[in-house]
Amino acid sequence: MPLDSRRINGPPESFPVSNFGGQITQKRLVVTDGRRQDGRKATDVRPIFLRAGVVSNAKGSAYIETKNTKVICAVYGPRQVVRREDFKLTGTLKCEFKLTTFSCKQRQQHQQSVVDKDVSLTLQQALEPAVCLDKYPRAQIDIFISVLQNDGGVLGASITCASVALADAGIDMFDVVVGCTLRQAGEVAILDPTYEEEYDSKDEGDNNGSIVVGLLPSMNQISVLIQSGDLDNEVSQQGIRSCIEGCMRTYPVVRECLVKSVKTMNVGKEKGS
């Protein structure tokens, strides 16, 4: 059969790419000297970069970066909803969470997956207690969260990012919501886990799972609590307390970001006038 000069012909024999990859081994959460793979202690969180007003055409927006976990959020509205099946005097939140196609080790779909839809509902439940929905009757606030890179702790970072975006949009809120994730593997509990620690780590002992807490820091109330895996009652309570401490550590970063955003907005108004 003659060769086709218009195409690049491959070799006569081919082999799967997996044959050239090394064997995947699960790592322990904490190394022998008491520190994790990235040098942090079990109770340390990753450095946080947080900025509001990053999407120009949105009513409010925010971008959060915790080392290699990167999330961006945009808020639109409130917009009037004329036709609705169920009439409500209060407003509604609509959250859309999406892992971008290049955010994970395995390529994601362009459309929302079942997991994305479940996380969207969780984010909605976490943010609703913080928003004064009674001030927006028959209105809807749209929140779009996109994960640019997933290196663990995505849900906690998304809660914090969406809350800052709502505040940047000028939505009346009782308080901001700060999220934190904890990974439990046997007797080892770590805050703000990386992707390997959250999904690829070796299970140790009976207690294996994760906890995500959304906290309203000023009101000292939990807006959402998600627990997966098998955890004892005492271990679960201790994990929740650790997540609350992690949220309180993140709160000063959120407060400073919003103060800086307001100052920048005021300076822009003064220059415009």
Residue-by-residue DSSP string for 124-184: HHHHGGGB-GGGSTTEEEEEEEEEEE-SS-HHHHHHHHHHHHHHHTT--BSS--EEEEEEE
**Token pair 């799972």 in the structure block, residue:** 209
Residue 166: the pLDDT is 97
Q: What is the pLDDT of residues 27-43, one digit of tens each?
A: 566 666 778 888 888 88
pLDDT range class, residue 192, cuts 50, 70, 90: very high
Does residue 6 sit in helix, strand or coil? coil
Instruction: Give which of 58, 93, 106 is closest to 172, Cα–Cα.
Output: 93
- What 231-236 contacts at long range (C-beta under 8 Å, 24+ apart), as own/partner pairs, is 231/184, 231/207, 232/206, 232/207, 235/184, 235/189, 235/207, 236/211
Report domain extents, the chain. 42-263
**Token pair 């395995």 in the structure block, residue:** 106
Q: Which residue has the higher pLDDT, 95 or 111?
A: 95
- Spatial distance between the Cα atoms of 263 and 38, rounded to a whole number of angstroms: 35
Does residue 268 sit in helix, strand or coil? helix
The correct CATH number of 42-263 out of 3.30.230.70, 3.40.630.30, 3.30.930.10, 3.20.20.30 is 3.30.230.70
Per-position b or e across 5-28, b if 16+ CB within 10 A of its CB:
eeeeeeeeeeeeeeeeeeeeeeee
Supply the angle between the helices 233-272 and 154-168 in degrees, to the nearest 10: 30
Residue 250: the pLDDT is 95
- Spatial distance between the Cα atoms of 13 and 167, rounded to a whole number of angstroms: 58
- Spatial distance between the Cα atoms of 153 and 180, rounded to a whole number of angstroms: 7
- Contact of 176 with 217, CB cutoff 8 Å: yes
pLDDT tops 70 at residue 270: no
Residue 38: the pLDDT is 84
Does residue 11 sit in helix, strand or coil? coil
pLDDT tops 60 at residue 21: no
pLDDT tops 80 at residue 62: yes
26 secondary structure, DSSP code = P
Q: Which residue has the higher pLDDT, 86 or 167?
A: 167
Q: pTM here?
A: 0.86
- Spatial distance between the Cα atoms of 132 and 90, rounded to a whole number of angstroms: 9
pLDDT tops 90 at residue 66: yes
Q: What is the pLDDT of residues 181-191, one digit of tens each?
A: 999 988 888 99
Structure tokens at 91: 């407003």
pLDDT tops 80 at residue 23: no
pLDDT tops 60 at residue 22: no
How does the average pLDDT of the chain come out, rounded? 86
Residue 186: the pLDDT is 81
Structure tokens at 128: 């609703």
Q: Which residue has the higher pLDDT, 8 or 91?
A: 91
pLDDT tops 80 at residue 94: yes
Length of the chain counted residue by residue: 273
Least confident range from 43-52, 247-256, 258-267: namely 258-267
Least confident range from 8-22, 63-77, 93-107, 207-221: namely 8-22
- Spatial distance between the Cα atoms of 240 and 69, rounded to a whole number of angstroms: 22
Residue 31: the pLDDT is 62
pLDDT tops 90 at residue 253: yes
